[in-house]
Structure 1
Amino acid sequence: MVFRHFRPRKPLSRLRCRYIRWASWFSDRNEAAHGIHVTGASGRRPQHLAHVAPGHPAASRDPALGGTRLRHAIRGVFALPAQDRPLRRRPRRDHLANPGLGGLGRIGDWWTQPIVYQKVVIFTLLFEVTGLGCGSGPLTGRFMPPIGGILYWLRPNTIRLPAWPGKVPFTRGDTRTAFDVALYAIVLIGGVWALLSPGHGGPVTTAGDVGLIDPVRVVPTIVALALLGLRDKTVFLAARGEHYWLKLFVFFFPFTDQVAACKLIMLCLWWGAAVSKLNHHFPYVVAVMTSNNALLRSRVFTPLKHLLYLDHVNDLRPSLLPKLMAHVGGTTAEFVVPTVLVFFAADHPWRWFLIAFMVLFHLNIISNLPMGVPLEWNVFFIFSLFYLFGHYGAVRATDLRSPVLLALVILAVVVVIVGNMFPERISFLPAMRYYAGNWATSVWCFRAGAEEKIDADIVKSSALVVNQLARLYDPETAEILADKIAAFRAMHVHGRALNGLLPRAIDDEADYKIREGEIVAGPLVGWNFGEGHLHNEQLVEAVQRRCRFEDGDVRVIVLEGQPIHVQRQSYRILDAKTGLIEAGYVDVKDMLTRQPWPEPGDDCPVHVIDDAHG
């Protein structure tokens, strides 16, 4: 397990096991500036890799070096090479100019044109579905190469995960075929075709404009992405279909209806995110995210980060401060401000105060460098604030006249409601349960040689994450960096549940390598974004069909999200060969009392409802 071989310095109060070593490696970028350097197994960093040294202090996986430097966990959660950081802060620009509008140098003259918002939607969908947006770069465990997406989904014989293989005809199987590759190519080609199209239909505003995109041009992308999503849910989720694909349907209606419908869709996204944060998980997210805030990396802010926890050494549960930040500055604001913007602000001058508040809201999310890298998502929201609520503030949501568009918005709301009540059935993305700390998750346990078998027997576009890192550094440093991801998970409520369930999945933790499900799924399916349904039984079965592991070679713990009306989370323990070992649930209240590390005599409270061994 992640907590083995720890030598306590003090009895009981310092029993922080292997987690402490993880926490010690969570330093911020300033460590390097103060003369602290990383060494690998050889004790020194090879000169040719000096420019990609990860930003954690000198560390070893030697059990004798447990230490008590827990402060690093709350100073910078996921330290990366300095040269990798621009990858997660890269500018979001270069949207293609429309024929007849002029170049980027004249953006001030044409950014409010009706066709511009349509093209921003299409561009962002393409950016996401190629793998350049969410799920890219070091924060999602992508190093060599830094993206999956297009490198994976244009490659036959890779793993695909159909949405409902037992219910939808012609979607069974888990191998990508030439048909799947063709559908993906149509999504890309159709998107570029629409993106490069001139205006159609003449001016649609009194100010004069070049018209709108001919809606026929988005039909190939709409149809191909829908069909592809049924055959491989990963691609549809990566395209952020619950947002950008949904907005493609809006293009078929008059411009006033388009603006009104887009405002309502934005409201659904804000409200969905706010509803999902009505839980005990979100303050943990806020504490961890703030610890990783790009603007708080100086040592000057270390005391502030200490205030995020009840005791920054002995009790890593969130203090009152992140609870207020989460449920007042976060949840309440996400309910109230967008509601006023959509239904009451219209074109009143004071709407700009609300717009400014929401811009700061999304800039704060970007500055926290969230795992999964949803940076384009927040940039899109900022642009939408200025475009929909700033320039077109006079168009109210109540101006929507199309019953079809209204039905589309209502359908999206229904999916959100069902997804919150039955999170095991609907992905957290269409359920709009964004970054609330309440996701489906998993932990994979590999015996010696199992990971090597996966790398050898499964077609994919990149090696497993640990092997990517070993090529950049050395095997020991690669293991340290992989452990940091597990430590990040342990800081959340569900991570404490997963670690508590680990002894129920494997007998001797020393015989296994423990991997966060996200870094397993990423190389295997081409994309990962905190969606545990991409690394549950479906992926386990696909891997087993290719690798044929023996009993005990691979064990997986799957933890579902918490339903909004029930304070419990279901879990399943699986063996790659024999299937279900145990199923049950954990009470959220029990997880709220736990630390990221086990205490002496610790026994995670569980409620077993299905035990394959009787």
Structure 2
Amino acid sequence: MGFKDPVFPPVDPKAFLARPLTERLRVLGAQWAEQGFGTPYMVHCIYFVKLFVFYGFLGVAIATSTSGMAFWHVGDWWNQPIVYEKLILWTVLLESIGVAGSWGPLAGKAKPMTGGILFWAKRNTIRLRPWKWIPGTNGDRRTVFDIAVYLLMLISLVVGIVLPGHQISDFGAAMARLGLDASHGLVSPAALIAPIVLLVLIGLRDKVIFLAARGEQYLPPLLAFAILPAAMPDHGFSNMMIALKIVIGVVWVGAGFSKVNKHFTMVIPPMVSNSPFMPLPGLRRRFYKNFPEDMRPSALAKFTAHGPGVVVEIVAPLILVFSTNMTVTVIAALFMVAYHFFIISTFPLAVPLEWNLLFAYSSLILFVGFPAGKGFAVTDMTPGWLAIVIAAGLLFFPVLGNIRPDKVSFLPSMRQYSGNWATGLWAFAPGAEEKLNRVTRSAPNQIDQFIAAGYPPDWAEITLQMTIGWRSMHSNGRGLFSILLATVPDIDRRSVREAEFLCNSILGFNFGDGHMHREDMIKAVQDEARFEPGECMVVWAESQPVGKKTQQYKVIDAALGVVEEGSWNVHEMVETQPWLPGGPGPHTVHWSKLRGSRSLGSVA
């Protein structure tokens, strides 16, 4: 892999692009296994500078300087709660602007590299409401009101970050138990009301901004900062710190349990293959059964997924939440720090690097800085039933989202890396993709972005096709491509796009949430793109619910709506190869406008 130049597959580009889709998938999958996305190391360096200098250093400098501390005195600030509060506000601010997660070339943003604010502060861009029954949320275009609420939210976050600390009644006594300086105080609970209210308000109007701000991750801590110190003067601070431990524990454990499935094993090989810290192709190949003939996960991949992968994310967090032994707590915290740095090192395509760095820091400040043995154990919450209420409230969406994934985004469901995602693929007839440039947004089609960034047109196309090669290596990719092959006769002539990437160029954000590019978004796109019937075909699949063996899919014609529904068995799909050498995987058609007499029943 070069420092400045990407690594492309060793093919003649024109001849490669003329080959059938399944043949291309085989080449692209093998290329990904050995080289990942092929991203130049210079791009990884840009991400590291953004993460450690812009986000980390600048965030700490702002948090400490506005709280009366010097950032170079690490021992004075690393366990100060106000620094932690302000770093969360800083993270929400950057996520809400669009310069944290889902940023840059690895997220499909080449020129410009930022989506976010460029879309969300622009009139008539697409807006996706989470629930149709909420009054005052009609429509799918951004208005002046939406822009005003969004910008006010950003301003309110800045205000919370720059205000000096505020004292509450039990803060001094609690800090004294730890021998810590209490003079810096906490972020004023009153200053947190506006960010919370505005985040919820804009989220009811546009779920994309709420999820981009990582509302499911950071709204609970913001509520803890705002409510507990103000409502419980005698125990507010201690309860706040204990509540933060419960919050992060639920996030970790929920994500860990979501990975106990057949999907997650298939996440590990392409994830590891994309790491710039895994330079040896031979080691990358070991995560596949028999590269390149059998690209299913190897025994090493299965061990990594269900050994360190799941166990560390369930066992270590439970130890942190319940341990009163300081040595055991420190060891478990270091495990979680290593876990988050491992995720950073793989550069997952949503690039949630800031979230991982913050959670690594959270492991230390919450559990080592405020240990259970000093009055910050879960059993120390006063009253005790409050811990149960908080845990139950936090578990509501993960439980509902795994039982009814169609009702809840995979992010509040805590399925960030589980492989069990709602997903999609778009297939454009020759020339039809250009119609997307009619849609009001702040960036052109991604093929145009990569060409503008200096890629020759054919190599820009192959770069985008690397993402569908990546998708084919996951369980849901096998299913999606099976349906495409079975329902779109001219698929070899079409431009096939990974929906998550494409969604980024239309909405300004995507974090792997297929709910952002299902029927409501497709309809909003069609209102301006005006595809003719058959020009834009989308295959979309929902996540697998707990207790079921199948995933439900839909085929959507942008001009006509849903034209087929069906399902596939997850076990059968994970046993196939990414390029589907035997043709479409087995699936069941529930109804269809596409297949005539074959509109019902199983298709081999």
**TM-score of the superposition, structure 1-length normalised?**
0.88
In the alignment, what sits opposite 1:487? 469
Query: Does 392-401 or 490-499 show the bigger shift?
Result: 392-401
Deviation readout 1:101-122 (Å, 9 max, x if unpaired)? 2232223212222211111111
Query: 1: CA distance between counterparts of 2:560 and 2:255?
Result: 38
Are 2:115 and 1:148 equivalent residues in the alignment? yes
Deviation readout 1:398-427 (Å, 9 max, x if unpaired)? 222255675343122011111111112110
Match of 1:381 among 334, 359, 371: 359
In the alignment, what sits opposite 1:579? 561
Match of 1:256 among 217, 232, 238: 238
Alignment of 1:465-504 (within 5 A): 465-472=446-453, 473-504=455-486
The one-letter amino acid of 2:504's match is G
Match of 2:298 among 319, 322, 328: 319
In the alignment, what sits opposite 1:162? 129
Per the alignment, in what secondary structure is the counterpart of residue 225 of structure 1?
A: helix
* CA displacement at 1:261 relative to structure 2: 0.4
The one-letter amino acid of 1:305's match is R
* CA displacement at 1:98 relative to structure 2: 4.2
CA contact (8 A) 2:65 2:71 kept: no
CA contact (8 A) 2:150 2:202 kept: yes
CA contact (8 A) 1:115 1:213 kept: yes
Per the alignment, in what secondary structure is the counterpart of residue 294 of structure 1?
A: coil
* CA displacement at 1:528 relative to structure 2: 1.0
The one-letter amino acid of 2:210's match is F
User: CA 1:307–1:510 in structure 2 vs 1: closer, same or farther (change >3 Å)?
Assistant: closer
The one-letter amino acid of 2:72's match is G
CA contact (8 A) 1:569 1:586 kept: yes
* CA displacement at 1:278 relative to structure 2: 0.7
Per the alignment, in what secondary structure is the counterpart of residue 371 of structure 1?
A: coil
* CA displacement at 1:54 relative to structure 2: 1.8
Alignment of 1:430-579 (within 5 A): 430-455=412-437, 457-472=438-453, 473-579=455-561
Query: 2: CA distance between counterparts of 1:127 and 1:398?
Result: 35
Query: 2: CA distance between counterparts of 1:433 and 1:588?
Result: 17
Per the alignment, in what secondary structure is the counterpart of residue 72 of structure 2?
A: helix
In the alignment, what sits opposite 1:366? 344
Match of 2:313 among 316, 325, 334: 334
In the alignment, what sits opposite 2:32? 73
CA contact (8 A) 1:460 1:524 kept: yes
CA contact (8 A) 1:444 1:516 kept: yes
In the alignment, what sits opposite 1:55? 7
The one-letter amino acid of 2:298's match is S
Query: 1: CA distance between counterparts of 2:491 and 2:566?
Result: 21
In the alignment, what sits opposite 1:277? 259
In the alignment, what sits opposite 1:221? 195
In the alignment, what sits opposite 2:149? 183
User: CA 1:182–1:474 in structure 2 vs 1: closer, same or farther (change >3 Å)?
Assistant: same
Count residues with an aligned counterpart.
559
* CA displacement at 1:231 relative to structure 2: 0.9
CA contact (8 A) 1:159 1:175 kept: yes
Query: 2: CA distance between counterparts of 1:479 and 1:489?
Result: 16
* CA displacement at 1:304 relative to structure 2: 2.2
CA contact (8 A) 2:481 2:584 kept: no
Query: Does 508-517 or 218-227 show the bigger shift?
Result: 508-517
Query: 2: CA distance between counterparts of 1:268 and 1:141?
Result: 31
In the alignment, what sits opposite 1:37? none
CA contact (8 A) 2:36 2:275 kept: no
Query: Does 73-82 or 335-344 show the bigger shift?
Result: 73-82
In the alignment, what sits opposite 1:351? 329
Alignment of 1:45-124 (within 5 A): 51=4, 53-59=5-11, 60-63=13-16, 71-90=30-49, 91=52, 92-93=55-56, 94-95=58-59, 96=62, 97-124=64-91
Per the alignment, in what secondary structure is the counterpart of residue 120 of structure 1?
A: helix
Per the alignment, in what secondary structure is the counterpart of residue 98 of structure 2?
A: coil
User: CA 1:58–1:305 in structure 2 vs 1: closer, same or farther (change >3 Å)?
Assistant: closer
User: CA 1:264–1:580 in structure 2 vs 1: closer, same or farther (change >3 Å)?
Assistant: same
In the alignment, what sits opposite 1:608? 589
In the alignment, what sits opposite 1:41? none
Query: 2: CA distance between counterparts of 1:213 and 1:603?
Result: 56
In the alignment, what sits opposite 1:208? 181
CA contact (8 A) 1:505 1:557 kept: no
Deviation readout 1:323-367 (Å, 9 max, x if unpaired)? 1111111112211111111112x3523322212222111111111
User: CA 1:71–1:156 in structure 2 vs 1: closer, same or farther (change >3 Å)?
Assistant: closer
In the alignment, what sits opposite 2:602? none
Query: 2: CA distance between counterparts of 1:287 and 1:502?
Result: 24
* CA displacement at 1:293 relative to structure 2: 2.1
Query: 1: CA distance between counterparts of 2:216 and 2:30?
Result: 39
User: CA 1:449–1:71 in structure 2 vs 1: closer, same or farther (change >3 Å)?
Assistant: closer
User: CA 1:505–1:603 in structure 2 vs 1: closer, same or farther (change >3 Å)?
Assistant: closer
* CA displacement at 1:574 relative to structure 2: 0.6
Match of 1:238 among 212, 224, 232: 212
Query: 2: CA distance between counterparts of 1:421 and 1:366?
Result: 30
CA contact (8 A) 1:125 1:245 kept: no
Per the alignment, in what secondary structure is the counterpart of residue 112 of structure 2?
A: coil
* CA displacement at 1:58 relative to structure 2: 4.7
CA contact (8 A) 1:126 1:239 kept: yes
In the alignment, what sits opposite 1:597? 579
Query: 2: CA distance between counterparts of 1:587 and 1:396?
Result: 44
Per the alignment, in what secondary structure is the counterpart of residue 246 of structure 2?
A: helix
Unaligned ranges ≥5, structure 2: 229-235, 600-604
Per the alignment, in what secondary structure is the counterpart of residue 454 of structure 1?
A: helix
Are 2:111 and 1:137 equivalent residues in the alignment? no
Deviation readout 1:43-77 (Å, 9 max, x if unpaired)? xxxxxxxx5x3222553141488798775332221
Percent identity, aligned pairs only, is 35
In the alignment, what sits opposite 1:399? 380
Query: Does 58-67 or 306-315 show the bigger shift?
Result: 58-67
The one-letter amino acid of 1:84's match is V
Query: 2: CA distance between counterparts of 1:191 and 1:347?
Result: 37
CA contact (8 A) 2:572 2:586 kept: yes
Unaligned ranges ≥5, structure 1: 1-28, 34-50
Larger relative helix fraction: 2
CA contact (8 A) 1:505 1:555 kept: no
Are 2:380 and 1:425 equivalent residues in the alignment? no
Deviation readout 1:121-175 (Å, 9 max, x if unpaired)? 111111111111111111110111111111111111100111112x111111110
Query: 2: CA distance between counterparts of 1:311 and 1:208?
Result: 58
* CA displacement at 1:603 relative to structure 2: 3.5
Query: 2: CA distance between counterparts of 1:180 and 1:100?
Result: 32
Query: 2: CA distance between counterparts of 1:610 and 1:439?
Result: 23
The one-letter amino acid of 1:596's match is P
User: CA 1:215–1:278 in structure 2 vs 1: closer, same or farther (change >3 Å)?
Assistant: same
